[in-house]
Structure 1
Amino acid sequence: MTATALVIGGTRFIGRHTVSELLDNGYDVTVFNRGNHENPFADHPDVAHVEGDRTEEGELRLAGERVDPDIVIDCVAYYPRDVRVATDIFADVDAYVYISSGASYGAKRVPKREDETRLRDCTTEQATDDSDATYGPRKAEGDRAIFAAADEGVNAMAVRPPVVYGPHDYTERFDYWIDRVDNHEEIVVPGDGTNLWHLVYVEDVASALRIVAEEGEAGEAYNVGDGHAPILGEWVDRIADACDTEVETVFAGPRELGAADLELTDFPLYIEYPHLLETAKIRDLGWEPTPLEETVAATVKAHRDSDRTGRENGPDREAEERVLSVLETF
């Protein structure tokens, strides 16, 4: 008998790749969302669609009754209440997997480990706030909801990715750097290029979600990240290789960036303190990351095939050229 999966979300980025991953591994899949975005699986015979709002408990409960899934992958649980409601509704499924985040960690540690590194606190006010500043605390509280559900006998687990990149990435953070490398001979990289922000390829997140659903243990959280974590300067070099081009990287510190009223953190994928996740725990389940040569090449191809530029995620070219002109005088 074919196993059934319910994907809450499922048409844009991580969810889209998760649906494909489940299909490739023999599942019948139902996508549950509001239908606000184009459904790439609309004509697929093994993908059903149930329209509804996951924040409306009755609609999510009805979807669960209609589908009766074996596993549930929750791609759009952004508030602790979302997780608590879902783990109640799906208390009897074989596995409920919540997409958490590396942002749930609250301690500055390198690397961050699931069973050692402290999670962020989350106040009552933060739990219902929708700003970027409370994203990490809300995800951490969702993790705690997973732990509580597992204590009540629910086979609930969490997967914690850092920044995700790859085809169909609507955040366009990685696209910013592809656009720069692909269109200019000289680009500005903030700082000295050694800042470290662990990333993860979207298809590897999708495979992690499936593997955790099949092999994970109730009440556990699993970090997922690329097998190698390049510094920002290396990312630029790898993108240039995938673009089959050459680019001169010019590093700029706070003084040089100040000439264009820029700060280091105005650039996407810049982080002041290293963010690295230990991934041994999920590897023990049989998960393996895709080599970076493949992930970057696929991401560059998808970028070129799309209309994404990522330019709104960082300094515009005019500001960048002002910085370059200042550096040329030194």
Structure 2
Amino acid sequence: MRLLVLGGTEFVGRAVVEDALERGWDVTVFHRGTRTAPPGAAVLHGDRLAEGGLAELEKGEWDAAVDTWSAAPRVVNESALLLADRVGRYSYVSSCSVYAYPSDPGSDETWPTVRADPESDGTDYPADKRGGELAVEAVFGDRSLSARAGLVLGPHENIGRLPWWLNRIARGGPFPAPGPADLSIQYVDARDLAAWTLDATAARVSGPHNLVSPAGHATMGDLLAACVEVTGSDAEPVWLTPERIAEAGVEPWSQLPVWTPPGELHAALHDNDVSRALATGLRCRPVAETVADTWEWLVSIGGIAPQRPDRPRVGLPDGAEERLLAGLTRD
């Protein structure tokens, strides 16, 4: 399989390239050149936002392309148009954020999506991802695939959610644990997302698919217990109710990464139907494996995870942990 990966040096794109290389595929990575591509991949350079930035893609043929772009949809549109006659299939790594909010618990791919323009210069994340989908669908039709990823975790994470929890728990002592402990979470390991995308591409699967772990795969308690286990610290969770967290003025998702309280936001982020992806081969490794491998990687790079410049840093601000735990750690 001759594979073109648009991106391919960070997190999800990197996982796609590494998986494809392990399969023995002929992989070409197209990126700006600010980071090193995985060894074994052919490299083409270009800035997709610059005039003439796609010049190195004007020649060449590939059986498939995987695109992880998450900003201006026009960039995806321009790439798809340029490659239409020289790429067999086009797989776009999208997001469950494309769904109109709020969504019903257990919603599937038929839930309405946000309005979007495939030729837009960019508005917001949900519309940009939906615009990218529309661009690929318009050009490639039934030769297109949209992998609607939810929360993505794993080694090389460049948002900082799981690394934040690992670093906090590694410091030890009582730590604020957002409850309830049995609250379900949905996520996908970047390597499982990559494996499904390549399998589905090779099998000529088309259309949108929700890509997160199935309901019941993991809970907040499972995630945090795995963090305590792999770091070997003396950290002890102090389970907090959603009401306590709200009273302390702490934001879900951004300041307490991964977690959202039961309700509309939890339904949108952690309660999506994934039957279609499971039926087409999605396999999700245990949460303990994702946590352990992420910790091993984090330690190997000195504990400081890379940070995407277009995303804000996550985690509790100064003083927030003290407010959350005030009067509780002695109980």
Normalised to the residue count of structure 2, the TM-score between the two structures is 0.84
Q: Which runs of 5+ in 2 are unaligned?
A: 308-312
Distance apart, 1:68 and its partner CA: 1.9
Structure 1 equivalent of residue 135 of structure 2: 145
The structure carrying a bigger helix percent of its residues is 1
Residue 215 of structure 1 contacts residue 285 of structure 1 at CA under 8 Å; is this kept in 2?
A: no
Distance apart, 1:77 and its partner CA: 4.4
Give, in whole Å, the separation in 2 of the partners of 1:183 and 1:268: 17
User: Of the candidates 10, 21, 24, which is equivalent to residue 12 of structure 1?
Assistant: 10
**The residue matched to 1:188 in structure 2 has which SS?**
strand
Matched, 1:25 2:33: no
Give, in whole Å, the separation in 2 of the partners of 1:196 and 1:72: 34
Amino acid at match of 2:237: T
Structure 1 equivalent of residue 159 of structure 2: 171
Distance apart, 1:166 and its partner CA: 0.9
Distance apart, 1:128 and its partner CA: 3.0
Residue 70 of structure 2 contacts residue 128 of structure 2 at CA under 8 Å; is this kept in 1?
A: no
Residue 181 of structure 1 contacts residue 240 of structure 1 at CA under 8 Å; is this kept in 2?
A: yes
User: Of the candidates 267, 270, 273, which is equivalent to residue 259 of structure 2?
Assistant: 270
Structure 2 equivalent of residue 248 of structure 1: 236
Distance apart, 1:65 and its partner CA: 3.2
CA-based RMSD: 2.8
Structure 2 equivalent of residue 233 of structure 1: 221
User: Of the candidates 126, 138, 149, which is equivalent to residue 136 of structure 1?
Assistant: 126
Amino acid at match of 2:320: A
**The residue matched to 2:326 in structure 1 has which SS?**
helix
**The residue matched to 2:225 in structure 1 has which SS?**
helix
Structure 1 equivalent of residue 56 of structure 2: 63
Structure 2 equivalent of residue 84 of structure 1: 77
Give, in whole Å, the separation in 1 of the partners of 2:26 and 2:220: 39
**Alpha-carbon distance change, 191 to 123 in structure 1, aligned in 2, over 3 angstroms:** farther
**Alpha-carbon distance change, 317 to 97 in structure 1, aligned in 2, over 3 angstroms:** same
User: Of the candidates 300, 304, 308, which is equivalent to residue 305 of structure 1?
Assistant: 300
Structure 1 equivalent of residue 148 of structure 2: 160
Amino acid at match of 1:122: A
Q: What whole-Å deviation, never above 9, does each CA across 1:70-107 have from its counterpart, x for those lacking one?
A: 21111224222122222211213111111101111114
**Alpha-carbon distance change, 197 to 149 in structure 1, aligned in 2, over 3 angstroms:** farther
Q: Which runs of 5+ in 1 are unaligned?
A: none
The structure carrying a bigger strand percent of its residues is 2
Give, in whole Å, the separation in 1 of the partners of 2:219 and 2:8: 31
Residue 259 of structure 1 contacts residue 322 of structure 1 at CA under 8 Å; is this kept in 2?
A: no
**Alpha-carbon distance change, 284 to 259 in structure 1, aligned in 2, over 3 angstroms:** closer
Matched, 1:286 2:281: yes
Residue 73 of structure 2 contacts residue 117 of structure 2 at CA under 8 Å; is this kept in 1?
A: no
Residue 77 of structure 2 contacts residue 118 of structure 2 at CA under 8 Å; is this kept in 1?
A: no
Q: What whole-Å deviation, never above 9, does each CA across 1:187-222 have from its counterpart, x for those lacking one?
A: 11235345544111010111122112211334x012
Q: What whole-Å deviation, never above 9, does each CA across 1:89-133 have from its counterpart, x for those lacking one?
A: 12131111111011111141222312x2111223799x4346xxx
Structure 2 equivalent of residue 222 of structure 1: 209
**The residue matched to 1:97 in structure 2 has which SS?**
strand
Residue 178 of structure 2 contacts residue 239 of structure 2 at CA under 8 Å; is this kept in 1?
A: yes
Residue 190 of structure 1 contacts residue 253 of structure 1 at CA under 8 Å; is this kept in 2?
A: yes
Give, in whole Å, the separation in 2 of the partners of 1:289 and 1:199: 9
Give, in whole Å, the separation in 1 of the partners of 2:188 and 2:47: 28
Distance apart, 1:56 and its partner CA: 4.1
Residue 101 of structure 1 contacts residue 161 of structure 1 at CA under 8 Å; is this kept in 2?
A: yes
Residue 180 of structure 2 contacts residue 239 of structure 2 at CA under 8 Å; is this kept in 1?
A: yes
Q: What whole-Å deviation, never above 9, does each CA across 1:35-68 have from its counterpart, x for those lacking one?
A: 122x043xx3x411111012347432x3333332
Matched, 1:50 2:48: no
Residue 93 of structure 2 contacts residue 148 of structure 2 at CA under 8 Å; is this kept in 1?
A: yes
Give, in whole Å, the separation in 1 of the partners of 2:283 and 2:243: 42
Comparing 82-91 and 280-289, the one that deviates more: 280-289
Give, in whole Å, the separation in 2 of the partners of 1:280 and 1:264: 27
Structure 1 equivalent of residue 328 of structure 2: 327
User: Of the candidates 167, 173, 187, which is equivalent to residue 199 of structure 1?
Assistant: 187
Residue 77 of structure 1 contacts residue 98 of structure 1 at CA under 8 Å; is this kept in 2?
A: no
Residue 70 of structure 2 contacts residue 125 of structure 2 at CA under 8 Å; is this kept in 1?
A: no
**Alpha-carbon distance change, 277 to 87 in structure 1, aligned in 2, over 3 angstroms:** same
Amino acid at match of 1:143: E
Distance apart, 1:257 and its partner CA: 4.4
Structure 1 equivalent of residue 33 of structure 2: 35
Residue 122 of structure 1 contacts residue 137 of structure 1 at CA under 8 Å; is this kept in 2?
A: yes
Comparing 50-59 and 171-180, the one that deviates more: 50-59
- Count of aligned residue pairs for this structure pair: 315
